[in-house]
Amino acid sequence: MTSKRVLVLYYSGSGNTRKMAKAIAEGMRSTAVEITLEEAERLDISSLPNYDIIVMGSPTYFSNVSWQMKKVIDESIVHYGGGKLKGKVAGIFTSAGTSRDGKDCLKMLELALGFHHKMKVVEGILRVDGESDREVEKRCQEYGKRLLKEMER
């Protein structure tokens, strides 16, 4: 059986979202998947349809995603017409100063991937500045496992 391909894509200004991305990837580690952990600015947009699960994370900037992640989202229009991402499992995450603003950022990701691209978005997770690293790591690892389960359904 060929293994499923997972992309964990993130941007991080000061490292918090990067830590989340790494922990989500750790949680997904399994013989059944091949995981690519990639920074948003390094993504080759044409590669997106090659993945079975796409996980996207951004810091919350002004209640939204950072421009680096918005650029990826805007460029993903090339896959919109043919519905190339439709039906794939998506994960979304953010690190924010406050949970209220983090939820707004998650909503933006959900709209892009779920409403527009018609991906199956698994309810996102957020980290709030000041939370213990250990707790966040655990939440992220569990989220990775949940995404794998969703793919197997």
Ligand X SMILES: Cc1cc2nc3c(=O)[nH]c(=O)nc-3n(C[C@H](O)[C@H](O)[C@H](O)COP(=O)(O)O)c2cc1C
Residues that bind ligand X (CB under 6 A): 12-17, 59-63, 95-98, 101, 129
Between 60 and 76, CB nearer to ligand X: 60
Q: How far is the CB of 40 from ligand X (least distance, A)?
A: 11
Least distance between ligand X and beta carbon 67 (Å): 10
8 Å CB contact between 39 and 59: no
Which distant-in-sequence residues (6+ apart) come within 8 Å of 150 by Cβ? 89, 120, 122
Pairing of strands 4-10, 120-128: unpaired
Select 50 or 98, whichever has its Cβ closest to ligand X: 98
- Residue at shortest CB range from ligand X: 97
Closest approach of ligand X to the CB of residue 125, in Å: 13
Give the integer Cα–Cα distance in Å for 140 and 22: 9
Q: Are 95 and 20 in contact (CB under 8 A)?
A: yes
Q: What tokens appear for 129 in the block?
A: 């500045």
Nearer to ligand X, 117 or 127 (CB): 127
Select 13 or 83, whichever has its Cβ closest to ligand X: 13
Phi, psi of 10 (to 5 degrees): -150, 160
What's the DSSP call for residue 3? P
Cβ at position 64, least distance to ligand X in Å: 8
